[in-house]
Amino acid sequence: MDYYRRTPNVPLEESITPPSNSDLAGETETSQQKGILLRAIRALPEDEQELIRLRYVAELSFIEIAKALHKSEGATKKMLYRLLARLKSQMEAEHE
């Protein structure tokens, strides 16, 4: 796991790409959603934040993440998908 942590630490803000269109209302909505997502991620325990960093910032495969976390590939997938579902629910609740 230390090997993967040696990669440059990219802030989560930089890993979320901005919209490519010039629609101001759409950009505002996207910016608000990005803020909600970042707050939700920052509220997560460190191990869950690390899982997100390994998958979406370091762009590791499930096998690589599983090896780094000393878990099975299936358990790693399940953890990530449950985490993403929980984040989605939180974002939907805040958006209402």
Per-residue pLDDT of the chain (96 residues; tens, 9 = 90+): 555 555 556 666 555 555 555 566 667 767 778 888 888 899 999 999 999 999 999 999 999 999 999 999 999 999 999 999 999 998 888 777
pTM above 0.85, yes or no: no
Distance from C-alpha of 54 to C-alpha of 51, rounded to nearest angstrom: 5
14-51: b (≥16 Cβ within 10 Å) or e: eeeeeeeeeeeeeeeebeeebebbeebbeeeeeebebb
Topology (CATH) of 45-96 = Arc Repressor Mutant, subunit A (1.10.10)
